Chain A
Amino acid sequence: AQKITQTQPGMFVQEKEAVTLDCTYDTSDPSYGLFWYKQPSSGEMIFLIYQGSYDQQNATEGRYSLNFQKARKSANLVISASQLGDSAMYFCAMREAPMDSSYKLIFGSGTRLLVRP
C-alpha cells in the first residue's frame, strides 16, 4: 500500500497567486515526520519544510507553509505569492520512526508545478 500519495501529477498557477500541493500519508506509528522537497530542472533536491507529528502548530518557512491535518493524515504544501522560480517538481516525504532511530524517508510520486507569468 502506498504510504505517501500525491494525487496531482501536474499543476499550473498564475504568478503572484497562492497554490496548494496535496499530500496524504498512511502510518500507524505515532512518531513520524513529514517533509517537502523541491526539485528544479537541474535535478538537485532542495529541502523546503518539515512537520513533526507532535508539533502543535503548522510549520512555516518564508513563503512556504505546511497545512497539517493530523486526523485526515494530510500534509499539504502551500506556496504563497508564487514566483517563476517556483516552477519545479515537488515531493512529499515521510519519516516513519522517532528522529534518532535508523530511519529512511519514503517519497510520494511528486507534483510538477508550472508558474505562469
Chain B
Amino acid sequence: NAGVMQNPRHLVRRRGQEARLRCSPMKGHSHVYWYRQLPEEGLKFMVYLQKENIIDESGMPKERFSAEFPKEGPSILRIQQVVRGDSAAYFCASSPGTGDYGYTFGSGTRLTVV
C-alpha cells in the first residue's frame, strides 16, 4: 500500500499560470481533504471531497481555486492565475469515512510562484 501519493513534490509557476496538484488517496479510502500551509502558519483546511462530490469547501478561496475528485483518477486541486501569495505547501489527506479521524497524509506539494 503506497499510502497517499501527491505529485508533483515541487512545482514552480510564474504569476498568471495555472497550477494543478494531484492526490491519490490510500487504497480503500474514499474521503480526501486538502490543507494549505503558509510559511510560519499551521495547516489550514481548504476542502473535503468524496468521489464526485464536494462535501465542504468552506476553506477554499472564493476565486481561482477549485477541487475535484472524479470517479476515476486522483483528486485535483487547481489554482488558476497564480499569485505570489499562493506559494505554500499543499497537503492532501485521506480517510476511510466519516467519523474516523485517522487521516493519512501525503508528503505535500510545495508550490512556488515566481
Partners in one complex: no
